[in-house]
Amino acid sequence: MSVFWITLIAIAIACVAYGVGRQKALSSSRGDPRKLHSLPSYYGWYCFISSIVPALAILVIWLFVQPMITTQRVDSVLQLPVEASVGEKLAAKRDVQSVAVALDRGLAQGVIAESDLPALAENPSSLPATLAEADISLPVVVTPQLFNAAQTFRDLSSTLNTGLTVAVILFAVIGAFFGIRRCAPDFRARNLVERVTMTLLIAASVIAILTTIAIVLSLVFQTATFFEQYSWRDFFFSATWSPVFQGNSQLGILPLLWGTLYISLIALLVAVPIGLFSAIYLSEYASKSMRAVAKPLIEILAGIPTIVYGLFALITVGPMLRDWIAQPMGLGSSGSSVMTAGLVMGIMIIPFVSSLSDDIINAVPQSLRDGSLGLGATPSETIRQVVLPAALPGIVGAILLAASRAIGETMIVVLGAGAAARMGLNPFEAMTTITVKIVSQLTGDTDFNSPETLVAFALGLTLFVITLGLNILALYIVRKYREQYE
Amino acid sequence: MTDISAHPSGKRKTSSLLQLDARTKRRNAAERRFQIYGLVCIGIAMVALVMLLVSIFSGGASAFRQTFATFEMTLPAETLDPDGNRNPEEMAKVTTIGYQNVLRQGLVTAVRGANIVPEGMTDADITGMLSPEAAADLRNRVLNNPELLGQQVEIDALAHGRIDGYFKGRVTMQSAERDANVTPQRLQLAQAMADNGLMALRFNWGFVTKPDASDQRPEAAGLGVALLGSLYMMLVVLVLSVPIGVAASIYLEEFAPKNRWTDVIEVNISNLAAVPSIVFGILGLAIFINFFHLPQSASIVGGLVLTLMTIPTIIISTRAALRAVPPSIRDAALGVGASRMQAVFHHVLPLAMPGILTGTIIGLAQALGETAPLLLIGMVAFVRDYPDGPPAGLFDPASALPVQVYNWTQRADPAFVERSSGAIIVLLAFLLVMNAVAIILRRKFERRW
């Protein structure tokens, strides 16, 4: 029985416990709920919890233990040499599993009968061909040993699975029984239920922390493995990026970092003036109706997925820049270029700059404007000399947030910037970024022991640190500024 | 007074309110310029948006239409069902190649019968006009309905991608001369067939329902598996991120004491919202695939990664919604004897529900368009089989809508550019619907206190 159904059964038992517990509490007070300490449904919930919690706990523990037991038994049947590497063991385990799964499917579809199995155990090499008749592919050379291991795996799994089902149902019923027994008028069901709820609430808010810890741990551990195989000096200070999958590759981050910063710079040069001027116009000059139309339209730009911008760069902006500017001026002949990616990314981050700046400009107290206008300044002079200086820290924060967004952006640069790692100044040449290389090193068949794959984690860690630093700085500036006027 | 004596000549500068002096004119001009800058910048942003949408829609609209060859032929029962008992299981022994020969024969007969074949065109040349996928379609149709055998049926066969490109203006006579996959003669024949009603460009449901097709068959590629994969991932995100996000926000907003620990959680959440999406992909690869050994390219892994990305968004909007409920509601509930938990769950949460719902939909819309993390967990794989129904299907390999777009952009045949734009139209349509629902919900249920 699959885990899903076992869980459903446990939940069903718990639901029954809810009903019984509630009824028991009501009847123990002789139908007068006022005599109960808590509302009747709290007794029900108490029974629900006392039934489902032990059942799910045993389920989780079992799911962790079961692979250990099966692996041990299968290993003893396979008799792998002691000196076999982790990779070989994993591959053998995967083979055993695929044979077992294929056997199950074969039996289910009737290509093999249960009675054929002993004969197959003698001569299992015909198994893939037999299964292929039912469109079950089994790309493994089946040795008798492997077949036996797969059989052991199947037997053990089905035994353990039955055990799991029985254990879960047993625990659910026992839990329900104990819960129901405690339902009496003076039992403080609500307090207990609320305590459990509170635990759940706290657990949910800890998940955010766990995510961060998981990110940091997964990046740091793999990066440490990478630096065992590759010198960190070469990684941070070498200006050559040329991964070779046979080994002996040069993995310097500098060209990637240069590409990332160059593209982000162009993006900011596009987005900051446009975003800032739009925000100023919308908050200081625009009529209410214009604001109601223009502001959502600009924010649509923030809601469009980045893959759409990537495609826009690839099929429209790239060829346009190449045909109209780069080629006539002899600057390059590539559709994907720093300019393409930067321009499109700039469009993408316009709304970040504009809506954040808009909030910040609106937060500048009206009295400052009134004072300046009262002295005879024109509105634009007021904005330039009073509002903007007052809003400056916030705007800087907004720009930093936009910059971190630009540095971490992936799809636009994957489709628009190209894959050549080089450090040049010509913006119409293809360059590449950290995110592009993370994608290219980690997609496809990857071997998690080679520096060419592990470098992606070091790149990811660098990216994480840079964006985190920018974010923290920006939040700090924005918060500090907000305090001034509130 | 000192001011007056500062002008020893006694000549005062005269000015009039009715006549602007040079300096005022300059300042007014600067004012106008400043306003124009603002308008121009808004204009640029609008133009960029319009260009983006126009380029996607003009490039992608044609993906929803496909060229089909339509002709009548008799399906020979003796070749397609050698046993003659119309049993689909036995008929399945006839492979696609058998159907291909039948289909080609039918096309040649139909075209020669209409007498429109250009001089010197061989039969093999004519049959190259059909997509290799057309035979598989016919096979499925016959296996689903064996009674068709031996009857005169109307065939709708997918035309080859280049023929389709000719009707969409992508392939011309000139380009066909240099192309190994098509000849100018075939294009002439295609034109003649279209004039005779044997070939037409029609709406193609297959683009939305069929699975992806190989590099060589852009005409047959569809979004079916990707849509299903995206749907599964959204289910996972919805089921996991909403309870977790809402529970976390309730704790932080209503119960958490103000101390260092909750400060850490808050800073953490706002930072998590700004972590680049690709880093979440690395997390998914390292934790879910390498550590927990969940299958690659399965929608469960994609769903889990997107859940982690969506939780901060949901927390931020839920907290805003909870904060908008006035404290008097809580006070009233506590005043009539509710516990704090009861006050929150019975009174505050229901009142905050519209805001939470809006935030959830917007978070889901973001997750739907997310691409980069999915690339790292193997969703780029070429998947042709539909995943099973949930829950088992969550562990089957699948694709996702935005990843399918990326996948198609990486292929050589220019016909895939049209299809990736088409896929984006589908994606944008979903986002539009989701955001519209969010806006309607907000309008309808928003309460001002």
Q: Which residues pair with B352 in a beta bridge?
A: none
CA quadruple B60, B63, B67, B70: dihedral sign: negative
Compute the distance between CA of residue A152 and CA of residue A69 in angstroms, rounded to an integer: 12
- Residue A127 burial (CB < 10 Å; 0-12/13-18/19+)? buried
The pLDDT-based confidence of B88 (bands split at 50, 70, 90) is confident
Place B76 in a pLDDT band, splitting at 50, 70 and 90: confident
In a domain, A235, yes or no: no
Measured CA to CA, the distance from residue A125 to residue A123 in angstroms comes to 6
Is pLDDT at B30 greater than 90 in this prediction?
yes
Nearest alpha-carbon partner for A275 in B41, B43, B33: B41
User: How far is it, in rounded angstroms, from Cα A251 to Cα A100?
Assistant: 42
Q: pTM for this one?
A: 0.86
For residue B391, what are the CA distances in angstroms to A56, A104, A119, A211, A428?
A: 18, 19, 35, 25, 49
Please, which residues have CB within 8 angstroms of residue B336's CB and are 6 or more apart in sequence?
none
C-alpha angle A192/A197/A203, rounded to 5°? Answer: 130
> Looking at the predicted structure, is the pLDDT value of residue B425 above 90?
yes
B224-445 placed in CATH 2.120.10.70: no
pLDDT in tens, B224-239: 899 999 999 999 999 9
Query: pLDDT higher for B424 or A77?
Result: B424
Residues from chain A that touch B272, judged by Cβ atoms under 8 A, are: 208, 211-212
Clarify whether residues A73 and A164 are in a common domain: yes
pLDDT bin (cut points 50, 70, 90) of residue B273 is confident
Contact B183/B124 with Cβ under 8 angstroms? Answer: no
Does the beta-carbon distance from B272 to A460 stay under 8 Å? Answer: no
Together in a domain, A174 and A300: no
- Which domain range does residue A352 map to? 241-485
Rounded to whole angstroms, the Cα distance separating A254 from B28 reads 49
- Percent of chain A predicted with pLDDT > 90: 31
- Proportion of chain B above pLDDT 90, given as a percent: 34
The CATH number of the domain where A319 resides is what?
A: 1.10.3720.10
Same domain, A285 and A397: yes
For B341, the closest of A194, A314, A401 (CB atoms) is A194
Nearest-Cα distance to chain B for A122, in Å, is 30
pLDDT for B51: 93
pLDDT tens for each residue of B364-394: 999 999 999 999 888 887 888 888 877 777 8
Residue from A329, A322, A345, A330 nearest A415 by CA: A345
Looking up tokens 């006839």 gives B94
Q: Which residues pair with A37 in a beta bridge?
A: none
* Co-location of A97 and A218 in the same domain: no
Ranges of residues in chain A whose predicted pLDDT is under 70: 1, 81-87, 89-90, 133-139, 247, 444-447, 481-486
**Nearest to A276, CA basis, from A389, A360, A353, A351:** A353
Tokens 């069901």, located at residue: A189
Residues B247, A304: C-beta atoms closer than 8 Å = no
Peptide bond into A305 cis (omega under 30): no
> Would an 8 Å CB–CB cutoff place B434 in contact with chain A?
no
Indicate if A134 and A275 belong to the same structural domain. no
Mode of pairing for the β-strands spanning A241-242 and A250-251: antiparallel
Residue A349 and residue A323 share a domain: yes
Hey, are the CB atoms on B431 and A378 less than 8 Å from each other?
A: no
Other beta carbons within 10 angstroms of residue B17's beta carbon come to 5
The boundaries of every CATH 1.10.3720.10 domain in chain B are 224-445
- What is the rounded distance in angstroms from the CA atom of residue A312 to the CA atom of residue B58? 12
| Nearest by CB: A378 against B27, B268, B371 | B27
Residue with tokens 């123990």: A28
A106, A195: one domain: no
Residues of B in contact with A308 (CB under 8 A): 52, 56, 369, 424, 427-428
Phi, psi of B70 (to 5 degrees): -115, 120
pLDDT score at B175: 82
Residue A342 Cα distances to A244, A315, A316, A421, angstroms: 29, 15, 14, 16
Taking only the tens place, the pLDDT of each residue in B182-222 is 888 888 888 888 888 888 888 888 888 888 888 888 888 88
| Torsion from C-alpha of A434, A440, A442, A444, nearest 10 degrees | 170
Q: Which residues are CB-neighbours of A356 under 8 A, at least 6 positions away?
A: A394, A395, A397, A398, A401, A402
The dihedral formed by the CA atoms of B391, B393, B394 and B399, expressed in degrees to the nearest 10:
-160
pLDDT at B133 over 50: yes
Of all residues in chain A, the one with the smallest CA distance to B43 is A278
Sort residue B115 into left (φ over 0), alpha (ψ -120 to 50) or beta: left
Say yes or no for a CB contact (<8 Å) between B45 and A347.
yes
pLDDT at B109 over 90: no
In total, chain A counts a number of residues equal to: 486
Chain A residue with Cα closest to B311: A208
* Tally of structural domains, chain A: 3
Q: A61 and A97: one domain? A: yes
Q: How far is CA A380 from the centre of its chain?
A: 45
Q: By C-alpha distance, which of B206, B222, B161 is closest to B401?
A: B222
B203 touches chain A (CB under 8 A): no
Q: What's the Cα-to-Cα distance from B107 to each of B101, B143, B154, B250, rounded to whole Å?
A: 10, 20, 11, 67
Q: Is the pLDDT of residue B111 over 90?
A: no
SS (H, E, C) chain A: CCHHHHHHHHHHHHHHHHHHHHHHHHHHCCCCHHHCCCCHHHHHHHHHHHHHHHHHHHHHHHHHHHHHHHHHHHHHHHCCCCCCCHHHHHHHHHHHHHHHHHHHHHHHHCCCCHHHHHHHHHCHHHHHHHHHCCCCCCCCCCCHHHHHHHHHHHHHHHHHHHHHHHHHHHHHHHHHHHHHHHCCCCCCHHHHHHHHHHHHHHHHHHHHHHHHHHHHHHHHHHHHHHHHHCCHHHHHHCCCEECCCCCCCEECCHHHHHHHHHHHHHHHHHHHHHHHHHHHHHHHHCCHHHHHHHHHHHHHHHHCCHHHHHHHHHHHHHHHHHHHHHCCCCCCCCCCCHHHHHHHHHHHHHHHHHHHHHHHHHHCCHHHHHHHHHCCCCHHHHHHHHHHHHHHHHHHHHHHHHHHHHHHCCHHHHHHCCCCCCCCCCCCCCCCCHHHHHHHHHCCCCCCCCHHHHHHHHHHHHHHHHHHHHHHHHHHHHHHHHHHHC
Is A232 a domain residue?
no
Contact of B257 with B266, CB cutoff 8 Å: no
For residues A246 and A183, membership in a common domain is answered with: no
* Residue tagged 């926000």 (tokens): B249
Residue A234 lies in a domain: no
- Model confidence band, residue B1 (pLDDT cutoffs 50, 70, 90): very low
Tell me: do A183 and A196 sit in the same domain.
no
Report the distance separating Cα B381 and Cα B404, nearest Å.
Answer: 10
What does the pLDDT read at residue A483?
A: 59
Which residues are paired to B154 by β-bridges? B72
From the list A4, A222, A472, the residue facing B271 with the nearest CB is A472
The answer, for B44 touching chain A at a CB cutoff of 8 Å, is: yes
Residue B316 has pLDDT above 70, yes or no: yes
Is B35 touching A (CB cutoff 8 A)?
yes
Is the separation of the CB atoms in B364 and B214 below 8 Å? no
Contact B39 A308 (CB under 8 A): no
B213 contacts B286 by C-beta, under 8 angstroms:
no
CA-based nearest residue to A381, from A394, A393, A368: A368
The whole-angstrom separation of Cα B263 and Cα B245 is: 17
Are residues A464 and A362 part of one domain?
yes
Query: CA torsion sign, A371 to A375 to A377 to A378?
Result: positive
Contact B248 A207 (CB under 8 A): yes
Instruction: Give me the pLDDT at residue B47, please.
Output: 94
Can you give the pLDDT at residue B402? 93
Which of 304-363 (B) contact A at CB < 8 A? 308, 311-312, 315, 339, 341
Domain presence at residue A233: no
Supply angle C-alpha B282, B284, B290, rounded to 5.
95
Judgement on whether residues A157 and A267 belong to the same structural domain of the protein: no
Do the beta carbons of residue B127 and residue B35 sit within 8 Å? no
> Would you say residue B80 has pLDDT above 80?
no
d(CA B132, CA B129) in angstroms, rounded, equals 9
CB atoms within 10 A of CB A444: 10
- Cβ within 8 Å, pair A457-B282: yes
